[in-house]
Amino acid sequence: MSGSLRRFPTAVLALVLTGGGLLIAAPPSHAAALGLAQLEAEVSFDKNEAAGHTCTQTGPGNADSGLATFAADGVPVTRSVSSSAVLTDNAVAADQTTMAAGATVTGTATQVGGQLTNVHIAGSGSASLTTAVANTSCGASLDAGGVLEFQFSLAAPTLLTISAEAHHMIGIVEAGSLLGSSDDPEAALTYTLGGHGVSTTSVVLPAGTSFIGVSELSVGLDAPTTATTLTRSGDFAADISFQAPGAASSDQSGNAGKNVKLGDGRDCTAGTLALTWSKKAGHGKHRVIKKATVSVDGAKVATVKKPKKNQVTTVSGLDPESAADVEVAFKIKGKGKFTADRSYLRCS
CB 236 within 8 A of CB 166: yes
Q: For the chain, what is the HEC assignment?
A: CCCCCCCCCCCHHHHHHCCCCCCCCCCCCCCCCCEEEEEEEEEEEECCCCCCCCEEEECCCCEECCCEECCCCCCCEEEEEEEEEEEEECCEEEEEEEEEEEEEEEEEEEEECCEEEEEEEEEEEEEEEEECCCCCCCCCEEEEEEEEEEEEEECCCEEEEEEEEEECCEEEEEEEECCCCCCCCCEEEEEECCCCEEEEEEEEECCEEEEEEEEEEEEEEECCCCCCEEEEEEEEEEEEEEECCCEECCCCECCCCCCEEECCECECCCCEEEEEECHHHCCHHHCCCCEEEEEECCEEEEEEECCCCCCEEEECCCCCCCCEEEEEEEEECCCEEEEEEEEECCCC
Mean pLDDT of 273-301: 94
Q: What is the pLDDT of residue 186?
A: 93
Task: Write down all domains in the chain, each with its CATH number in brackets.
Answer: 12-243 (no CATH), 260-344 (2.60.40)
Cβ contacts of 93 within 8 Å, gap of 6 or more: none
Q: What is the pLDDT of residue 8?
A: 37
Per-residue pLDDT for 251 more than 60?
yes
pLDDT in tens, 127-178: 999 999 999 999 999 999 999 999 999 999 999 999 999 999 999 999 999 9
Q: What is the pLDDT of residue 184?
A: 84
Per-residue pLDDT for 20 more than 90?
no
Q: Mean of the per-residue pLDDT values for the chain? A: 90
Q: Positive or negative, the Cα torsion across 222, 225, 227, 228?
A: negative
